Amino acid sequence: MITRFTFVALYLALASGFSIASPDVTSFDSTRAFEHDFYVQSNLEFTLLHELAHAVIELNDIPVLGGQEQAADQIALMLLIMADDSHNKDINPVVLNKLLAISGEWMIEWKNEKKDHQPVYWDTHPLAIQRFYEVTCLIYGSNPDKLESLRKESMLPVERAWDCDIEFEQTRRALAWLVTKVSDYKFNKSWKLIKSKDSKQLFSGRIKVVWIQPNNQEDQRIYTKLKTFNHLASVLTKLNDLLNLKNYITIYLEPFCRTPDAWWDGTKNNITVCYDLIKDFEKNSLLLPDLVKQLKSGIRN
């Protein structure tokens, strides 16, 4: 179990962002990670990529070692990191803020898990706090020289940080292999995505989104907000260009689940994302800065 001291140190590290960072990232401003809509959109993007990773694994019979939940997390995170090639030379502040928003969400969820009930150790998903370190390690591993501050600020203990570049390399290689199995593309030597064959016309499947009309004012607000997230629409367009899908995958944005969850249903080729999950992201985006302020002023409960 994580100690209270470590827990507080991690929050403070998250809060201070890169304020005492190495010279490489002094200009990086981490406050955007906790901007309300950016935070919600980043976590929703991660959720969609995670569920789509399940879909791609199952629909293509991809063999998985190490558990499908962890594989789905790693595919989603690596797609976010590889969305541009800046990890080769510099830090992309938008991607970095996105990953901080995602790791921040895991930290808050861990706190809620511990407060509300015993963490579920038998679950197929890693614990929220493990997912926090998983995200942080992949970010750090993508560019350890420039992101030395993550390690220095105790977001990542040295024992884990040590091998994060290897973890990143292994995950990137696995993603590169996966891309050759499920698309006409491959990564070249400088990790740019290039077209390597021309078989898209054989695959009629696409990802489509079904908007379920809400029936109350609060859900209508969420519906309207989600419709403004143009970035997510462009991510889905890019994935439709990239992936060779035999089947249609339908994403339902669902106001009536009554649980803060999202899941892939392989029997129907559906992904459901509940409005309650979006509401949780909204609540947590507000919770994190306050919590950090409390911790900074010495109030720890």
Closer residue to Zn ion, CB minimum distance, 35 or 261 = 261
Site for Zn ion in 180-219 (CB under 5 A): none
| Distance linking the first and last C-alpha atoms of the chain | 18
Partners of 186 in beta bridges: 194
> What is the number of alpha carbons within 13 Å of residue 287 lying toward its C-beta?
16
Tell the residue number behind the tokens 């350890």, with chain if given.
144
**Shortest reach from residue 93's CB to Zn ion, in Å:** 28
DSSP per-residue codes, 47-59:
HHHHHHHHHHHHH
Closer residue to Zn ion, CB minimum distance, 109 or 153 = 109
**Shortest reach from residue 72's CB to Zn ion, in Å:** 5
Q: By CB under 5 A, how many residues form the interface with Zn ion?
A: 2
d(CA 105, CA 284): 7
**Shortest reach from residue 80's CB to Zn ion, in Å:** 16
Number of H helices, E strands in the chain: 11, 6
Contact 273, 262 (CB under 8 A): yes
Closer residue to Zn ion, CB minimum distance, 69 or 265 = 69
Segment interacting with Zn ion (CB under 5 A) among 66-74, 112-120, 136-144, 236-244: 66-74
Site for Zn ion in 141-160 (CB under 5 A): none
**Shortest reach from residue 54's CB to Zn ion, in Å:** 5
**Shortest reach from residue 104's CB to Zn ion, in Å:** 19
SS3 of 125-139: CCCHHHHHHHHHHHH
Angle at 223 between CA 221 and CA 229, to 5 degrees: 105
**Shortest reach from residue 63's CB to Zn ion, in Å:** 17
Site for Zn ion in 68-87 (CB under 5 A): 69, 72
DSSP label of 260: S
Segment interacting with Zn ion (CB under 5 A) among 65-73, 114-122, 276-284, 291-299: 65-73
Closer residue to Zn ion, CB minimum distance, 15 or 72 = 72
Closer residue to Zn ion, CB minimum distance, 40 or 72 = 72
Nearest-10 Cα torsion for 258, 287, 83, 230: 60
**Shortest reach from residue 76's CB to Zn ion, in Å:** 9
Angle at 176 between CA 174 and CA 180, to 5 degrees: 115
Segment interacting with Zn ion (CB under 5 A) among 67-75, 109-117, 138-146, 222-230: 67-75
Centre a 10 Å sphere on the Cβ of residue 143 and count the other Cβ atoms it contains.
Answer: 23
Site for Zn ion in 252-271 (CB under 5 A): none
Closer residue to Zn ion, CB minimum distance, 58 or 148 = 58
Closer residue to Zn ion, CB minimum distance, 92 or 250 = 250
Which residue ranges make up the site for Zn ion (CB under 5 A)? Answer: 69, 72
